[in-house]
A and B are shown apart, each in its own frame.
Chain A
Amino acid sequence: MNKLKPLFARLNKFPRVALVVIGLFVALGTFAPWLAPQDPSAQNLLQGSLGPSVAHWLGTDHLGRDTLSRLIIAANTSLVSVGSVLIIAMTIGILMGTIAGYHRGWVDDLLMRVVDVGLSIPSLITALAVIGIVGPGYWTMVLALALAWWPMSGRISRAVAVSIMSKPHIEALRVLGASPWRIYFGHLLPGTIGAVMVYATADAGTAALAVATLSFLGLGIQPPTPEWGQMLVDALPYLESDPRQVILPGLALTAAVIGFNTLGEAIALNRIPKPLTRRMLAMRRIEVAGWAKENSDA
């Protein structure tokens, strides 16, 4: 329990709403197949568009599928696609950003100009253009979104990489004759990945929104796989008779995005990567002293 304390202390700095919502989203997404009470794609046309009951807690859609199960499975769909998008986007972004931050000069100028252009075009338009050329499909959607998303992590990782490269220990490594590969893989890359990951979690909300939007437009996740945006568009023709089927997936998605956005705001306010201040150094020292004490206790 003692070892968990620093973890809790760190988590306590984040807004509680964000932690609860994100925790719920990740838990639901990970364990969805075991949590869903019924088969999400089992149709029963005789029991379509029902209200809440003991058998179907949140009612059924127009094809008689259990809405609660579909909402839970949709969390899984969303989590997996958002995860893939962010992993691919971050890999590209971190690579480009660290290369730009390591080399500076014209490489930096060129890459950052590309990033500028990428950032100035709305991600939905970039993603749709890619889908329009390659053709729709699950992996096209993931790749298209990753292509629209990498400039953000590219810019952050470049900023972090530049600040790392200007630190004295890199200079010391150079003087000691460390190879560029060692500096790049041993010091620059690990330092950048950590910082960028923090920001990427804040981006997850907009990524989830983009996945849902593409699915809503019929160019992302295809039926019968449940997904919030696609459930919403599926129920839209029945808006007048059965608004619940439109509102529930919308609320689920909104809640998830609110969670990630609150987290993102907290990160933007408190944790902008900056050189260590004296206060932070002192805190680090206390933390490290704590580890030493724990180790000597054991």
Chain B
Amino acid sequence: MIHFISKRLKHSLVLLFLASVVCFTLVVSAPGNVAVLIAELRGAVAVPGYVAQVEEEIGLNKPLLMRYVDWLGDAVTGDFGISYRTGQAVSADLPHRMMVTGTLIAGSAVIATLLSLLLGFLGAFWPYKLPDRVSRGLALIGASTPTFFVGALMIYGFSVTFQLFPSFGFNGPASWVLPWLTVAVLPAAVLSRVVRVGLEEAMTSPYVLTAKSKGLGRTAILFREALPNITPVFINALGTQVGLMTATGIIVEPLFAWQGVGDYFLAGVRFRDFMVVQACLLIFLTFFIVVNLIVDLAVLMTDPRIRRQWS
């Protein structure tokens, strides 16, 4: 157990290092001179020697390795440099933005889990009957509808036609509902298939046959025998989907006027504000690595077979 965790932590640290190298090289390899850009921003590009002064200031004249170490040291302490577009520190409202994106992902993950379990169990309880077909059809439609279209439909349905929820802004639970639902559709569709297929596989296994021969009912078998067995698989798939939600957030946050990390990343991409792109990318990659780590630990907790292997 301890051995597994320490090995997994080491693995994550290596991945984090790689992620930081990727983010750093991405910006270093970007075309154009950064110092000129900043000097222009401050309106002093024509002042002789000013560009060199900026280079000195942001450490552009140091060797590459030194720049990497400096940048990494700053990034670890939460300093992501100066935005080329606004001239402000990138990290200024980053905590708030991370909170917004965190709210989006956490809420959507809960909704997606509940929805997918409901749909998957419906399908597994009446296999190849009407509920199964409905759940399958919904999953196909949910997995195929573009997220921005889902968002537009949500706004049209719940905000324009019925005026139940506000269509934009981040103030209070009522305004969280539509973005949550929008982001949750795709993962719910994918996960419901995972649940359905996993349950079907479990239902044909010998231990279920044993349970049946002991006279257990279908509900009891599904919840007591099959569910614990698909939990590790489900957690794995959920982890992947939570990672993907960062990408969906990039689409959904601007749509609902949420000032999250995804929105920031998109703005950075639009205005080619490399420092913002770099900071957001590092946050995303760190998030994936942490989610993967949590998933692996959770699988270890829920799957006694793996636990025994490592103890």
- Chain A residues with CB under 8 Å of chain B are 117, 120-125, 128-129, 131-136, 205, 209, 212-213, 216-219, 229, 232-233, 236, 239-240, 243, 246-247, 250, 253-254, 257-258, 261-262, 265
Cβ 8 A contact of A124, one of B30, B247, B292:
B247
Stretch from B45-53, B103-111, B152-160 contacting the other chain: B152-160
* A-side interface mostly: helix
Question: How many Å from the CB of A248 to the closest CB on chain B?
Answer: 11
Given contact pairs A129-B277, A219-B270, A258 touches B144 in the complex (Cβ within 8 A): yes
Contact at A117–B18, with CB atoms within 8 Å? Answer: yes
Q: Once bound together, how far apart are the Cα atoms of A125 and B155, in whole Å?
A: 25
Within 8 Å CB of B284, what residues of A? 121, 125
Cβ 8 A contact of B29, one of A133, A240, A258:
A133
Given contact pairs A125-B281, A239-B155, A132 touches B274 in the complex (Cβ within 8 A): yes
* Residues of B in contact, count (CB < 8 Å): 40
Question: How many Å from the CB of B174 to the closest CB on chain A?
Answer: 19
Known contacts A212-B146, A217-B266, A257-B144; 13 additional CB pairs below 8 A are A121-B285, A122-B246, A123-B247, A128-B266, A132-B269, A132-B272, A135-B272, A213-B251, A218-B270, A229-B146, A239-B152, A253-B146, A257-B146
Contact at B156–A213, with CB atoms within 8 Å? Answer: no
* Chain B stretch 160-200: residues in CB contact (< 8 A) with chain A: 160
A212 to chain B: closest residue by CB:
B146
B251 to chain A: closest residue by CB:
A213
Cβ 8 A contact of A217, one of B144, B155, B251:
B251
Q: Once bound together, how far apart are the Cα atoms of A109 and B243, in whole Å?
A: 24
Cβ 8 A contact of B269, one of A128, A232, A254, A262:
A128
Q: List 8 A-B contacts (CB under 8 A).
A: A117-B18, A120-B243, A124-B250, A125-B246, A133-B277, A217-B266, A254-B144, A257-B144
Within 8 Å CB of B285, what residues of A? 121
* Chain B stretch 240-288: residues in CB contact (< 8 A) with chain A: 243-244, 246-247, 250-251, 254, 265-266, 268-270, 272, 274, 277, 281, 284-285, 288
8 shortest interchain CB distances as A-B pairs: A250-B149, A122-B247, A132-B269, A124-B247, A257-B144, A132-B277, A258-B144, A216-B148
Within 8 Å CB of A219, what residues of B? 269-270
